[in-house]
Amino acid sequence: MTSKPILTLDDAKRIAAAAETEALANAWRVVIAVVDDGGHLLYLQRGHDTQFGSVKLAIKKARAAVAFQRPTKAAEDAVLGGRLIHLALPGVIPAEGGVPLTRDGQIIGGLGISGVRSFQDGQIAQAGADALGPG
C-alpha cells in the first residue's frame, strides 16, 4: 500500500489567502475554490460584490484541473488551436484559471478561480498554487 500527502483545510486557506492577495493587488473580484484530490470542495471564498455566476465555474475549474491532471489552460489552448473535441469531453472547462495542486509529484487537489478575464484568473490561480510551495 502506498502513502500520499493530503490537502488539509489549513493548506486550502493558505492557498486561498495567496490567491486573494493577488486578486486584491489588482482590484479583481473573484471566486476562489479549492478541492481535494477527489474533486470535493474544501474551501470556497466569494467577496460580497463578486458575481455569483462565478461560484460554480470556479468549482468546475478546480475539479477539471484534478480530473485531467493539468491546468485548464491546456484545454483552452487546445480549443483555440482548433481541437474542438475538447468541448465534448465531460468536465472539461476550456478556460484558464484551474490548476492542479501537487505534493511529491502527486496531485492532492485543485484550485479554481473565476471572475475576471481568463488570463487574469490564471494569474491568480498560479499565485495561490505557489503558496503551497514546491510540489
Sign of CA dihedral 132, 113, 7, 18: positive
Residue 93: closest CA among 107, 111, 75:
75
For the 9-45+57-130 domain, the top CATH level (class) is: alpha beta
Give the model's confidence band at 19: pLDDT under 50 very low, under 70 low, under 90 confident, else very high: very high
Contact status, residue 68 vs residue 78, Cβ threshold 8 Å: no
Q: Note the pLDDT of residue 60.
A: 97
Residue 103: closest CA among 19, 4, 1:
4
Q: Which three cell numbers stand for residue 58?
A: 470556479
The more confidently predicted of residues 104 and 45 is 45
Q: Note the pLDDT of residue 134.
A: 72
Q: Note the pLDDT of residue 135.
A: 62
In the predicted model, what is the mean pLDDT of the chain? 95
∠83-56-94 over CA atoms, to 5°? 10
pTM of the predicted protein model: 0.95
Other Cβ atoms within 10 Å of 69 Cβ, number:
12
Q: Note the pLDDT of residue 2.
A: 85
Per-residue pLDDT tens for 58-68? Answer: 999 999 999 99
Domain spans, the chain: 9-45+57-130
For cell 488551436, name the residue: 81
State the Cα torsion 42-71-116-8 to the nearest 10°. Answer: 20
Whole-number Å distance between alpha carbons of 74 and 80: 10
Per-residue pLDDT tens for 84-98? Answer: 888 888 999 999 999
Residue 69: closest CA among 46, 41, 101, 96:
101
